[in-house]
Amino acid sequence: MTHTAHAQRVAIVTGAARGIGAAVAKRLARDGLAVGVVDLNEAECAGTVKAITSNGGTAAAVAADVADETAVTAAVAQIASELGSPTVLVNNAGIGGPDVGVAEMTTQQWDAVTGVSLRGAFFLTRAVSPHMVAAGWGRIINMSSISALGDSGRADYASAKAGLIGFTKTLALQLGRQGVTANAIAPGFIVSDMTRTSARRRGRAFEEHQRLAAQAIPVGRVGQPEDIAHTASFLASPGAGFLSGQVIYVAGGPVD
Ligand code: NAD
């Protein structure tokens, strides 16, 4: 960690050890924010923190399971004391279970998947939004998915990601007058460990999995974590204050 410059805005990005969250954390740091890098294990956050600090930015690694209420409260308090009051929150942590029909889905799988994406976003937002309200300014960005519109194999994931959209719109209604916006990003296929795991589960080489996905994407390629980071950067920016309660599909084409 390095010292926080006076009045530097502070962001919290969950699931920021790798993938989309790491790209978002690095991008927000490049935009001038100090970033609380939250993930399951502090050591795994080291790569993201190092990438930020070696570039002259400010970041702190904080371990928390976002589905654990007590851990979230402690993590937010730690970030507020180390970096300052957080006014940008990116609820990005998420997991996807295996594809199974609803009749075969275990309660444990449903709870694990919805627990990270949905309960996690609730816990973080409940802990961070008072900082935003006190500052009279805030940006909440929830990582949904095109799976919110339906997913042939993952009722748990689709429900969690659709739930995040209702959560986002409600936050926009509740917090707008306090200067806080809330929006959801719904990524399509993004190259990350998550899509690497889906390829493995389907018994496909990752290259082949990407090639097949790209065939169905209008812009003719799969997405990269930086595509999502670019959108998050825009939504977190001061100029995006009139954009709230929206879902932005970042999927290389229209989705419905
Ligand atoms: P990833 O698996 O590469 O990274 C997820 C990160 O979240 C990991 O660092 C992991 O340790 C962390 N994490 C998992 N459970 C956690 C918990 N309980 N507490 C704290 N951290 C936790 O996945 P990704 O592709 O970077 O996905 C990031 C987000 O984007 C997820 O919410 C995912 O559902 C969403 N998304 C991804 C895609 C895609 O194609 N990759 C598409 C749509 C939406």
pLDDT digits (tens, 9 = 90+) for 229-240: 999 999 999 999
Instruction: Give the predicted TM-score (pTM) of the model.
Output: 0.97
How confident is the model over 110-124, as a mean pLDDT? Answer: 98
How confident is the model over 107-116, as a mean pLDDT? Answer: 98
End-to-end CA distance of the chain: 43
Question: CB neighbours (10 Å) of residue 235?
Answer: 22
Question: Residue 188 and residue 58: Cα distance in Å, rounded?
Answer: 30
pLDDT score for 229: 99
pLDDT for 176-224, tens place per residue?
999 999 999 999 999 999 999 999 999 999 999 999 999 999 999 999 9
The answer to whether the CB of 81 falls within 8 A of the CB of 4 is no
What is the percent of the chain with per-residue pLDDT over 70, rounded to a whole number? 98
Please name the residue ranges forming H helices in 176-215.
193-201, 206-215
Active-site annotation, residues: 157
pLDDT score for 29: 98
Closest ligand 1 atom number to CA of residue 20: 26
Residues with Cβ within 6 A of ligand 1?
Answer: 14-15, 17-21, 39-40, 65-67, 92-95, 116-117, 143, 145, 187, 189-190, 192-195
Q: Whose CA is nearest to atom 17 of ligand 1?
A: 65
195 alpha carbon to ligand 1 midpoint, in Å?
10
DSSP H or E run through 121 = helix 120-135
Q: What confidence tier does 5 reach under pLDDT thresholds 50, 70, 90?
A: very low
177 alpha carbon to ligand 1 midpoint, in Å?
31
Per residue in 35-51, is it b (16+ CB within 10 Å) or e — as a string? bbbbbbebebbeebbeb
pLDDT for 27-62, tens place per residue?
999 999 999 999 999 999 999 999 999 999 999 999
* Residue 2 predicted with pLDDT over 90: no
pLDDT score for 170: 99
Q: Which of 190, 195, 227 should be mutated for ligand 1, with most atoms under 8 A from CB?
A: 190
What is the average pLDDT score of the chain? Answer: 96
Q: What confidence tier does 4 reach under pLDDT thresholds 50, 70, 90?
A: very low
DSSP H or E run through 141 = strand 138-143
| Bridge partners for 250 per DSSP | 187
6 alpha carbon to ligand 1 midpoint, in Å?
32
pLDDT score for 256: 78
Closest ligand 1 atom number to CA of residue 116: 18
The two most distant CA atoms of the chain are separated, in Å, by: 55
The answer to whether the CB of 117 falls within 8 A of the CB of 154 is no
Q: Whose CA is nearest to atom 8 of ligand 1?
A: 15
What is the percent of the chain with per-residue pLDDT over 90, rounded to a whole number? 96
